Amino acid sequence: MQSRVEILGLSPDALTTACGQWGQKPFRARQLLRWIHQRGQSDFSQMTDLARDFREQLQARAQVLTPPVLRDHVSADGTRKWLLDVGGGNAIETVFIPETSRGTLCVSTQAGCAVHCRFCSTGHQGFSRNLSSHEIIGQLWLALRALERDGVRGRVPLSSDHLDDDDTAEPRSRLISNVVFMGMGEPLQNYEATLAALRIMLDDHAYGLSRRRVTVSTSGVVPMIDRLRLDCPVALAVSLHAPDDSLRDQLVPINRKYPIDELLNSCLRYLDRAPRDFITFEYVMLDGVNDSDECAEQLLERVRRVPCKFNLIPFNPFPGSGLRKSPAERVRRFAQRLSDGGRVTTIRRTRGDDIDAACGQLAGEVRDRTGVNERIRHRVIPLAEAQ
C-alpha cells in the first residue's frame, strides 16, 4: 500500500507541485495552507470549500501528523514547555515565552545536537537525527492549537507601532508573533528541513510571520549562512561566546572548522540581504572563563567591522558541565563595557528555569548514536588549564 504524503511540512511550492500531481489547480494549495496552518485543521473532510472528490483524494493520499505530546509543563512565570515524541526513543522540546509585547516560540530542529558546545546540555546528550520539516513546523502548529484551546490570556496586541515594514497584515492579536530556531540542534546542519519550515512560517496563506520576527540561531556553519542569505534571509543570531579562536575552540568546537574571522566575514555578507541591519551575537556568561574586562575589550575589537548587537545570556548550570554562572554584577559590568564601546547590549532575562526551559537547558530525550558522552568524559579539562 502506498504511504500517504505528510503535507504539514510541505513548503508552499512543494504543496503546489503535489496538488498538480493530483490533478488540481495551484489555488488548491493556497486553500490547503489556510486550512492547515491558519485554521489548524487536520481533518480533510472538514475543509468545506474544497471539492468533495478532492477531499476524498486527500484522505486517501495525504495526512497531517504532528509529534505526540509526552509532557506539558507551565512555569511560574508563564513559560510553557512541551516534550514531544519523535520516535525511536527520541523526544524534543519546544518552549513558548509570553511577554507583554510579543509571544515567542522556540523550536527544535534536531533530536540532540552534533556541535557539542561546552555550555549546552543538549550537546551533552549527543545526537540522534535531523527532524523532518513536518516535525519542525508541527511544533508551531501544536503550540498554537494548545494555546488557543487553553484560552491563554495576554494575546500580543500588534498595533501599527508593533508591525514591521514588511508585515502587510492588518493590526491584530497574535498568540505567537515571533519564532526563534534556538531549541535543540543546529538549524543549519539540517538545512533543507529548516528552509521548508521557514518558507511555511513566512507565507501569507500560512502563518504570515515577518522575516524580522523569525530568527535562525547558528553556532557558525559558514557555508550554510551563505546559502540562507540567498534562499530565505531572516533575522540571524550567531552563538559567539568568545573573543578569540583559542577560547572559542574549547567552547564551540565547530570553530576549529570555521574560525571567527571566517564567521564574521559571512555575517557581513549576510547583512547585504538580511531583514535587519545588524547581526545578534549571543554570548553565554561563564564565570572566570569569558567574562573578564579584557574579554569585553577583545570582543569589541574583534567585531568592530560588523554592525551588531550583543545578547548576554546567564549560564544555566547542569550536571557535568564543569562551568559556573557569572555573578550578576560581573554580567552587568561586562554589558556596560560593551555599551560604552558603542554596541547595543542586552542581558537576557532567564525564563522558565524552574521547568528546565531556559537557554541551554533543553535536553529532551535522545538516543545518542555518536558516543559523545564517553568522549566528553575523557576529553574535557578545566578551561582555566586549557587557556
Tell me the domain boundaries of the chain: 5-63, 69-386
pLDDT band at 101 (very low <50, low <70, confident <90, very high): confident
CATH topology of domain 69-386: TIM Barrel (3.20.20)
**Annotation marks residue 93 as catalytic:** yes
Contact at 8 Å (CB) between 128 and 366? yes
Contact at 8 Å (CB) between 240 and 282? yes
Cα 171 from Cα 162, distance rounded (Å): 9
Set 93, 135, 186, 282: catalytic member: 93
**21 phi and psi angles, rounded to 5 deg:** -65, -25
pLDDT tens, residue by residue, 3-44: 899 999 999 999 999 999 999 999 999 999 999 999 999 999
Cα 64 from Cα 235, distance rounded (Å): 29
Cα 10 from Cα 319, distance rounded (Å): 39
Q: What is the CA radius of gyration of the chain?
A: 21
Four-residue CA torsion sign, 193, 167, 155, 213: positive
With cell 507551565, the residue in question is 74
Q: What is the pLDDT of residue 75?
A: 85
Identity at 54, one-letter amino acid code: F
With cell 560581573, the residue in question is 330
pLDDT band at 317 (very low <50, low <70, confident <90, very high): confident
Mean pLDDT of 196-201: 98
Compute the mean pLDDT over every residue in the chain, rounded to the nearest whole number. 88
CA distances (Å), 121 to each of 43, 105, 113, 373, in order?
38, 19, 10, 11
Contacts of 93 (CB under 8 A, 6+ apart): 81, 82, 83, 84, 108, 183, 184, 357, 362, 363, 364
Contact at 8 Å (CB) between 126 and 112? yes
Mean pLDDT of 51-55: 95
pLDDT tens, residue by residue, 177-190: 999 999 999 999 99
Contact at 8 Å (CB) between 299 and 338? yes
Q: Which residue has the higher pLDDT, 239 or 161?
A: 239
Cα 57 from Cα 306, distance rounded (Å): 52
Set 186, 267, 359, 365: catalytic member: 359
**174 phi and psi angles, rounded to 5 deg:** -135, 125
Mean pLDDT of 305-333: 93
Residue burial 332-365, b: 16+ Cβ < 10 Å; e: rest = eebbebbeebebebebbebbbbebbbbbbbbbbb
Cα 110 from chain centroid (whole Å): 10
pLDDT tens, residue by residue, 136-171: 999 999 999 999 988 764 444 443 334 444 444 433
pLDDT tens, residue by residue, 275-287: 999 999 999 999 9
Residue 118 has pLDDT above 60, yes or no: yes
Identity at 84, one-letter amino acid code: L
With cell 524552574, the residue in question is 354
Cα 310 from chain centroid (whole Å): 17
Domain 5-63 top-level CATH class: mainly alpha
**Annotation marks residue 295 as catalytic:** no
Cα 153 from Cα 164, distance rounded (Å): 23
